[in-house]
A and B are shown apart, each in its own frame.
Chain A
Amino acid sequence: MNITRRHLLLLLPAASVAWKYVLAGTPEAAPNYKLSEHWWGMLIDLPKCIGCGNCVRACQAENDVPDGYFRTWVERYHVSDYDIENPQVDSPDGGKKGFPPAKDVKGKNFFVPKLCNHCADSPCTQVCPVGATFVSQDGVVLVDPKYCLGCRYCVQACPYGCRFINPRTNTAEKCTLCYHRITKGLTTACCENCPTGARQLADLRNPADPIHEFLKTHSVHVLKPSMATRAKVYYNELDGSVR
């Protein structure tokens, strides 16, 4: 058969589409790890948090986070009993080096560790113009650094302020819930290094995970429930003043 110019023009697009599927194969995954069997979240037991900053240091060591940027950080709240609507919050260097003595020991003082809430309906993934950030099938919000343009839409969209632009790569970065650890059966760096057990990784799709019993028997909240993000970082005994 002679291939005329007309035939070639008709064949090329069909061939390119077919070639794409030939090359793609099936997506790789870690051995013995099924995406569909997990739905990750985290439990933060606030009465146990001592504000030592171990989680912040561990996260920076594990994930090579640049100085002055944070995938997780610890805030200290001071709530005066005369003005509970306006708490004073400080977080010197993200709480990485601990906290200086409180200026005002009257009223309520407590620590609140923060990180990406790994929302099931995440505002940050919805605004990405190129599909570089997404909720994985096991419920972790991830960024594809090879696809990210660094346009900063997602940094503005996150209601919890959990994203930043990495100055070295100029791409968006955030907590991956230590995806490289949890897919190998380890816990996250912050949970591994929390000395009091205030942070606990939770697999909501595993019926044997202690999170289910905890959620049934404790007063647990998420941050900014009014945003309807379906956040999966659960705070035990969260004070109403926390934003």
Chain B
Amino acid sequence: MNVFKDAGHLFRLAAVFVAGLLIFLVIRGFLVPKSFGQLGHYRANAVAEIAARPIKFAGHESCEGCHADVLDKKKNGKHAGVNCEACHGPQAQHADDPTAVKPDKLDTAVLCARCHEANAAKPRNFPQVDTAEHSRGLPCDTCHHPHSPVIVAGGAK
């Protein structure tokens, strides 16, 4: 007895399924990004794309290449560990083209208070003042030198 007798309709059904699977694989081959799955269940090229985003803060090493004089002033002072851009802001454009892009002038009355305004939550040993009472709105660099903040006789300016 032939087991395949009258089984033609099953083969036709199987052929429809196989055709569907092939179409699925073809479409999938075009839609799934090329690098997907190379490093894990994600698009491997995304890693390089994220790494290629532009930089805004140049980093203190690139400042120190030109501004060695400021580094000398800072290195024995209390602000030795404070990097340039912590106060001067993002300067990657200035580092790329120092003549065309110049950093803004800073207002020490605002800038210094960001760190040194008294607050009960700050560490006890951190130098802090009540600026309203301490300087009454005067810029801090009237008396203190910002790169090495000691009181300068006759004023810093």
Which residues of A are interface residues toward B (Cβ below 8 A)?
Answer: 9-10, 12-13, 16-17, 19-20, 23-24, 26-30, 33, 35, 47-54, 58, 61-62, 76-78, 98-99, 101-102, 105, 109-111, 131-137, 142, 144, 146-147, 176, 179-181, 183-184, 186-187, 189, 192-197
Q: Are B47 and A136 in contact (CB under 8 A)?
A: yes
Closest A residue to B27 by beta carbon equals: A16
Q: CA–CA, A29 to B52, complex, Å?
A: 9
Q: How far is the CB of A203 from chain B (nearest CB, A)?
A: 16
Q: Which residues of chain B in 40-82 are interfacial with respect to chain A, using CB atoms and an 8 Å cutoff?
A: 40-57, 59-60, 79, 81-82
Contact A180 B36 (CB under 8 A): no
A53 and B90 in contact, given A24-B35, A48-B123 (Cβ under 8 angstroms)? no
Give bound CA distance, A78 to B121, whole Å: 8
State whether A50 touches B122 (Cβ < 8 A).
yes
User: Who on chain B is nearest to A77 by CB?
Assistant: B121
Q: Are B123 and A50 in contact (CB under 8 A)?
A: yes
Please pick, from B29, B52, B115, the residue contacting A17 in the complex, using a CB distance under 8 A: B29
Q: Indicate whether A179 sits within 8 Å of B43 (C-beta atoms), given known contacts A24-B38, A48-B123.
A: no
Contact, CB under 8 Å: A27 / B44: yes
Do A192 and B57 form a contact, CB below 8 Å, given A30-B51, A61-B89, A137-B39? yes
Contact B122 A62 (CB under 8 A): no
B135 proximal to A (CB < 8 A): no
Q: B-side interface residues toward A, CB under 8 Å? A: 19, 22, 25-26, 28-30, 32-36, 38-57, 59-60, 79, 81-83, 85-86, 89-90, 113-115, 117-123, 126
Q: State the main secondary structure of chain B at its contact with A.
A: loop
A131 touches B45 (CB 8 A): no
Q: Is the CB of B48 within 8 A of A24?
A: no
Of A24, A76, A132, A195, the residue contacting B42 (CB under 8 A) is: A132
User: Given A54-B86, A192-B57, A179 and B19 touching (CB < 8 A)?
Assistant: no
Whether B26 pairs with A13 at a CB distance below 8 angstroms is yes
A186 and B44: CB pair below 8 A?
no
Please give the distance in Å from A100's CB to the nearest CB on chain B. Answer: 8
In the complex, chain B residues whose CB is within 8 Å of the CB of A180: 50-55
Q: Are B121 and A99 in contact (CB under 8 A)?
A: yes
CA distance in complex: A104, B31 (Å): 59
Roughly how many angstroms separate A47 CA and B125 CA in the complex, as a whole number?
10
Is A98 touching B47 in the complex (CB atoms < 8 A)? no
CA distance A184 to B53 in the complex (A): 11
Decide if B55 touches A181 in the complex (CB within 8 Å): yes
Nearest-Cβ distance from residue A160 to partner chain B, whole angstroms = 20
A51 touches B119 (CB 8 A): yes
B115 (CB) vs chain A CBs: closest residue: A52
Contact check: which of A131, A192, A194 meets B59 at CB < 8 Å? Answer: A192
Which residues on the B side are within 8 Å of A187 (C-beta)? 59
Other contacts beyond A13-B26, A111-B122: 17, CB < 8 A: A10-B22, A16-B26, A16-B29, A24-B34, A29-B51, A49-B123, A52-B115, A54-B86, A54-B115, A98-B113, A98-B114, A102-B121, A142-B50, A144-B43, A180-B54, A181-B59, A192-B83
Which of A109, A131, A195 is close to B36, meaning CB atoms less than 8 Å apart?
A: A131
Question: Which residue of chain B has its CB nearest to the CB of A29?
Answer: B48
A28 partner residues in chain B, CB cutoff 8 A: 45, 48
Task: State whether A61 touches B56 (Cβ < 8 A).
Answer: yes
CB pairs A–B below 8 angstroms (17 shown): A10-B22, A12-B26, A13-B25, A16-B25, A27-B44, A35-B47, A62-B55, A62-B90, A101-B119, A131-B41, A134-B41, A137-B40, A184-B55, A193-B86, A195-B81, A195-B82, A196-B81
